[in-house]
Structure 1
Amino acid sequence: MKYKKIGDILILDNKYSDNNFDELSRKHNVKTIMKIDHIQGTKREPIYKILYGEETETIHRENGCLFKLDLSKVMWSKGNNNERLRIAKLVDDDETVLDMFAGIGYFSIPIGVHSNPKKIIPIEINPNSYHFLCENIRLNKLTNVTPILGDCMMKTPKFKADRILMGYVKTTHHYLKIAIDSLNKGGILHYHETVPEKLINTRPIERIKAQAGNRDVELLKINKIKRYAPGVEHVVIDALIN
C-alpha cells in the first residue's frame, strides 16, 4: 500500500486494501485518512473520498516552512519538495519574483523563508488556494509577499520581474509569451512542462525560443522532477532571457 502523509492527514493511493483505518491512523499518528482520485480543472481542485475521520484541514511542515491547507479544497504536490527548495536557494536579494499558478504558496513561501528578495508576487486563480496562500504568508511571518487573486493570463502583464516561476503542467506553454513579456532583460524563467522523454532536450526550449521573439534565450538547466506517465517526464527548464 502506497501513501503520503501531509500534516496529520494520510493520503492513500487508489490500490489500498487495508480496511482497518483505526489501526492505520494510530500507526501514522493522523486524524484523517483520505483517497484523492484525481485533480481536475485549471483551479486544480481535488476529487476525493474520506475513509476515516472528518477534518481535512491541516498544517504541513516542509523544508522549514509551514503550509496550511484543506485537502478537500486544494491540491498538494509532495513530489516537488526538492524543486521548491532548489528554486528558493537561487533567488538573490535584489530580485522581484513573479510566481504564476502559485497555489497555496508552494514556491513563494520557501523563497520568502530561505531567501530575501525585494518582492515576491504570487498569482493564483482558485479562491480557496488564494485563501491559504494568504494564511501561509501570515503563518510564516513574511512581509515581502504580495498575493494576487486572478487569472495569470490577465494579471501577469501588469508586472515586471527578474525571475518568473511557471509551476504548472499540461497547458503551461500557452502562458509562455505573457511570462516572457513580463520578464526583465537578463531575467530567469523557470518553465514546467510534461514532455515525452525523447523530446526533453528539444521541445521545451524550442517552445520558449518561439515565444521569445528577438530576445536571446540561453538554456541554463533541464531539471527532471518526476515521472508523470509512462514515457513522460515532468521537467523544469531554467532559461536566461536577454
Structure 2
Amino acid sequence: MTYCVGMRLDQGLVFMSDTRTNAGIDNISIFQKLHTWSIPGERVVTVMTSGNLATTQAVISMLDERMKAPVERSPSLLEAPSMFQVARMIGETVRDVIAEYKGAAQQSEGVFDATIIVGGQIKGSAPRLFLVYPEGNFVEAGDDTPFFQIGETKYGRPIIVRAYRSDMSFEEATRLLLVSFDSTIKANLSVGPPLDLQVYAKDSYEVGFTRRFEAEDDLIREVSSRWGEALGRALESLPMPEFDL
C-alpha cells in the first residue's frame, strides 16, 4: 500500500510520500514514489504514485524516456505549455500502460492500476495540483479541495481536514503531514518510512527543500511521541458522559 499527500498553500506546494511496498507480510520493499523533473528558471513538475508497482514504474519510466528523446506523437512533460497539459499527458500515459498490461495479461487476476498526484509550476501561470485517476481523467485542487491523498488515505485525512490552513508556512505544513503520516503508519503496516518530503516555493521555478525522513529520525520520533501524549491529555480534558446505572 501507499500513502502520499500533495498540498496547495499560499506559499506554494508541499509533497510527502512513504516508500513502502508490499506483496504480503513477508515481501516488503522500499521504492521511491516521489519523482521530479525541472528546467531551472522555467518549470518544475513533481509526481507521486500509488497502485500496482509494475504499472507505476512503467508510467514513470515512459515519462522519463520521453523527456530524454521526445517524439511528435509522445511529447515531453518538459515541453508542455501548461500544467493542465502535463496532467493530460500523464493521464494518457497511465491509461495506455494499464490498457497494454491488461491486454497482455489476458486471464491474469492481477490488478493493473495507478493513481497519481502531479503538481508544479510552468512560467507564466500559477502553481497547480492535480489528481490523475487510473482511467486517465483528472481533477484539479482548488480552494474547496486544497490537498489530495492517494493510497491509504482514511487514517491521516481527519488530521489534515481539521488543521489545514492555506496560509501555513512550509514548516507548519510539514509538521501537519508528519502527524498525518504517523497516524497512518500506526494504523496500517503497509505504510511506512522512509518518508520523502519536497516543497516548492511559488514562482521560484526551482526544486525546493527536499528531505528523506528515516524511521529512526529524531524529528519523526519526537512528533510521534508528543502527538500521542497530546492526544491523551486532550482526551482527559473532554467532558465525561454520565451513566445512570
Give the structure, 1 or 2, with the largest relative contact order (CA under 8 Å, sep 6 or more).
Answer: 2
Larger radius of gyration: 2
TM-score between the two structures when normalised by the length of structure 1: 0.29
- TM-score normalised by the chain length of structure 2: 0.29
Which structure shows the bigger proportion of residues in strand conformation? 1
